[in-house]
Amino acid sequence: MLQVKKNLHVFIILIGLVLVFSNCAKTGKVYWVYYNQTQCADKWGAYTNNEDLKIKITEYFDSKGIEVYDIEIFANGTADTCLDCTCKTGKRIKMKVRKKDLDEVKQEGFYE
């Protein structure tokens, strides 16, 4: 009976390791991309705060079949002094995506 429990523990550990490594293989390499936020020309629409902005961006890219692994928002840029929709706010969006999605997110205005 003791040997069966020991074998079961080893089996569970092996299954866990297989799942972890298969998940890593599935996701492949991920890269950070950046976007300079605009006054109102961003495709994901209006937001109420940074957490809401992260949700809107994630939903936007989910609708395009692009998985977003992480998003960070920084207010480290200089805002444009104009009021046009395409004027920059000074906020920079940092987003982590898979390598295979780089070309498509670059078409959305992100850069490496």
pLDDT in tens, 21-75: 444 445 579 999 999 999 999 999 989 999 999 999 999 999 999 999 999 999 9
- For the record, the structure tokens of 12 come out as 């569970």
* Domain edges within the chain: 28-107
- For the record, the structure tokens of 27 come out as 């996701």
3-state secondary structure the chain: CHHHHHHHHHHHHHHHHHHHHHHHHHHCCEEEEEEEEECCCCCCCCCCCHHHHHHHHHHHHHCCCCCEEEEEEECCCCCCCCCCCCCEEEEEEEEEEEHHHHHHHHHCCCEC
The pair phi, psi for residue 6, each rounded to 5°, is -65, -45
Q: Please compute Rg for the chain using Cα positions.
A: 20
One-letter amino acid identity for 88?
Answer: K
The pTM (predicted TM-score) of the whole model is 0.72
Taking the C-alpha atoms of residue 49 and residue 6, their distance in angstroms, rounded to an integer, is: 51
Q: Is the pLDDT of residue 87 over 90?
A: yes
